[in-house]
Chain A
């Protein structure tokens, strides 16, 4: 896979900081219709009024004035290879990442394409009538979908970072799957060319029409580095009657990044929505994928895995809103913390009046590897429907000494024993991640474990 040179080489970027004129400039540079420009400006006015959340990790060092809010992707970015931190370069080597891919992941090269694979995928999708492109292209080629759905599930006043994203969004994926179509191959951002693949303010919109199925994968296990430190993305997913969507994220941003993301899906009658969320990187992540179970019999699931080491705070979880009868939800969370890392689980299960015969199961487990680290869980369960069931359980523990002793007895070294136990701990979620990612994920966790013995 090679990084390709682009023909046009001039870079468009806005001044640092945010103002109504920057927002308008972004819209003009993209040649957007006036309704989108108005949406952006309205979102900007809401952003100015929103306070930083008073709960959760400390975001006081976020400097909104020093961020460049729009930088058009060309072959070169502002970063150079010598700016990339050494530990990231070392991880690429240990994971065996090819040269060109390293450049792309480290934010040095802005484009990445896999010509052969992409062409074949495009053909298949065309035959099925599936629409898959970046959001900027979608606004031009399929504006009717954005007009109808954009900002309806995550409105611009939802929270501060959703407001910001709604004002300055760029890039992200658009997928529309027609009725009854099953997309067998998982779709990935890697398949899109000439777009900001891992943009700071990505906006993704997925619409799965009745009876359809699609699996979308975001991110990768290899660490991604950017000089600008805020990643505030928004994902909205509409799962129509009898359809199913699985959205897998493997996030490994470098430790200077604030990863503050709003992800929400709406499931209609008998629809199924599955979020598989693996958070390995970033300095601070706040992310609570949610499903609004709006139709009878709808199902929602979140499988969440997070690891937090020195200098990291993973504040993750899930939200399930049961607004119809016979809906069911499941939230499984596994968190590992070491070297002073902080792993926080936050969830909401809301059984609204009328959600008769609805049920929910939440399980969150934390593995604390040393006395410097911290585990927190803040689950909220609100039941306003007498005919519903909610179950929640959580455990916080260290690696059991008797387990290590047992394995050592069988000739396994202490290091390997700990590694084996950690892999077993994450297995229920890791096995849901597609194979090539799962292998890398396991290697990554093993790398993270090195040096944590004793």
Chain B
């Protein structure tokens, strides 16, 4: 398993040329990211996290390009936005005719914590073969009001309830990263997230 934290990496194209599990991670990244999958039996996982406050602006364009068959890729980006933060994600998956037996997926979930933040999502698919399983799902919304109220009835303040739920929201990404073998880096990321949230 190969792990790459590409948060500060300036490279726009990441080529996967060997089989096995490749994991990429980034936090609050803006820019174009292309993942070119050129090896059979490559399993690529891409995890992104965003926490936007004040007038933060994030524009990210990702691309999962399968040029060979027998490969899989999975993208998950979770973001939480406060104040007047802006987030725009364009995610493309391309599977040409020659790439048979490919499974590719893309998931994005965004939580809006204020009325003035704004999110734009464009999950695109360009599939030119039938021997494929491809899926994507994107959701954008607020924290579940019922769940917040429930926590408050248990004596937890509204702010603490929201922090609790947002940790649960990011936990989904950490849990998936753990499943593909990332362990020691996760604690550091959780700490970084906590700092960022309280700053």
Contact = CB atoms under 8 A, between A and B. Distances in A.
A401 to B, nearest CB: 10
B139 A390 contact: yes
Contact of B123 (A370, A379, A389, A398): A379
Given A368-B127, A383-B119, A392 B132 contact: no
A378 interface: yes
B131 interface: yes
The A interface is mostly helix, strand or loop, or mixed, namely: strand
B132 A391 contact: no
Contacts of A382: 118, 120
A380 B122 contact: yes
Interface in B91-128: 97, 100, 110, 112-128
A314 B133 CA distance: 21
B130 interface: yes
Given A379-B122, A383-B118, A369 B139 contact: no
B124 A381 contact: no
A383 B137 CA distance: 16
A446 interface: no
A392 B110 CA distance: 12
A386 B114 contact: yes
Contacts of B183: none
A373 interface: yes
Contacts of A366: 127
B13 interface: no
Contact size range, A: 35 or more
Given A386-B113, A396-B125, A381 B137 contact: no
Q: Chain B: interface secondary structure?
A: strand
B18 interface: no
Contacts of B140: 381, 383, 388-390
A387 interface: yes
Contact of A383 (B112, B127, B130): B112
Given A369-B130, A371-B130, A377 B124 contact: yes
A389 B141 CA distance: 4
A368 B129 contact: yes
Contact of A376 (B112, B115, B126): B126
A374 interface: yes
Contacts of B129: 368, 371
Contacts of B139: 389-392
Contacts of B132: 368, 396-398
Given A368-B129, A373-B130, A377-B125, A395 B135 contact: yes
A385 B115 CA distance: 6
B125 A368 contact: no
A395 B134 contact: yes
Q: Select the residue from B130, B131, B137 with max chain A CB neighbours within 10 A.
A: B130
A125 B132 CA distance: 52
Contacts of A378: 122, 124
B136 interface: yes
A397 B134 contact: yes
A398 B132 CA distance: 7
Interface in B35-91: none
19 contacts: A368-B132, A369-B130, A371-B100, A374-B126, A374-B127, A376-B124, A386-B142, A387-B142, A390-B140, A390-B141, A391-B137, A391-B139, A392-B139, A393-B135, A394-B123, A394-B137, A396-B125, A397-B133, A398-B131
Interface of B: 97, 100, 110, 112-142
Task: Give the 4 A-B residue pairs with the shortest CB-CB distance, closest first.
Answer: A389-B141, A368-B130, A398-B130, A386-B115
